[in-house]
């Protein structure tokens, strides 16, 4: 299994938990519509990439931010999808990672072929992008985000996420 991809998803879980901690320490962030919508968007997108990775067996359930009545419910979505990714990546074979997958929300036909490995790389990068947007917004609101860059995770010895 691609070690870098496993690291990107381990970092993602740690960073997702850390951004939630930063927002919980600064309550105005949790009341900010842009942050909340983006938190939902990237956790929702993580579930979509996991659905693709698992082979799309069950129908995909679309959600909206308002489907999560509380911040705790939305945070739980983030935790659950990150834990599910860890379990998936622990069991996936290299041959499965090289299979071509369809991303149903992609551009119109013809769509370029993507391996599962490349699709999951996009999934991790997408989450990183939106976390960075929320960190910038948190700063704009006066909060102090915790350092969640990939290199900080490496320097700290690849810690486990603390969803506390």
| 93, burial (CB in 10 Å: exposed 0-12, middle 13-18, buried 19+) | exposed
Domain extents for the chain? 3-155
Global pTM value: 0.93
Burial class of 32 by CB neighbour count within 10 A (0 to 12, 13 to 18, 19+): buried
Supply the DSSP symbol for 160. P
112 or 129, greater pLDDT: 129
pLDDT greater than 80 at residue 141: yes
- Work out whether strand 114-115 and strand 100-101 pair parallel, antiparallel, or are unpaired: antiparallel
Classify domain 3-155 by CATH number. 1.20.120.450
CB 15 within 8 A of CB 131: yes
* pLDDT at 1 (0 to 100): 63
Q: Note the pLDDT tens digit of each residue in 20-69.
A: 999 999 999 999 999 999 999 999 999 999 999 998 778 888 999 999 99
Long-range pairs of 60-65 with CB within 8 A, sequence gap ≥ 24: 64/40, 65/36, 65/37, 65/40
Kindly report, residue by residue over 73-127, the tens digit of the pLDDT: 999 999 999 999 999 999 999 999 999 998 888 777 777 789 999 999 999 999 9
* DSSP structure class, residue 156: T
3-state class percentages of the chain: helix first, strand second, coil last, to nearest 5? 65, 0, 30
Angle (CA) 80-122-44 rounded to 5° is: 35
């Amino acid at each position: 299994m691609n070690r870098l991809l496993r690291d990107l998803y381990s970092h993602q879980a740690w960073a997702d938990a850390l951004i939630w901690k930063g927002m919980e320490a600064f309550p105005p962030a949790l009341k900010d519509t842009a942050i909340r919508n983006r938190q939902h968007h990237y956790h929702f997108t993580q579930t979509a990439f996991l659905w693709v990775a698992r082979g799309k067996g069950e129908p995909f359930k679309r959600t909206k931010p308002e489907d999560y009545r509380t911040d705790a419910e939305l945070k739980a979505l983030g935790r659950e999808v990150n834990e599910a990714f860890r379990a998936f990546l622990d069991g996936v074979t290299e041959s499965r990672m090289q299979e071509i997958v369809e991303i149903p929300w992609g551009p119109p036909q013809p769509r370029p072929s993507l391996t599962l490995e490349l699709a999951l790389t996009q999934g991790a990068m997408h989450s990183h992008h939106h976390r960075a947007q929320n960190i910038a917004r948190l700063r704009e609101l006066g909060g102090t985000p915790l350092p969640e860059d990939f290199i900080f995770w490496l320097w700290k010895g690849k810690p486990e996420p603390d969803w506390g």
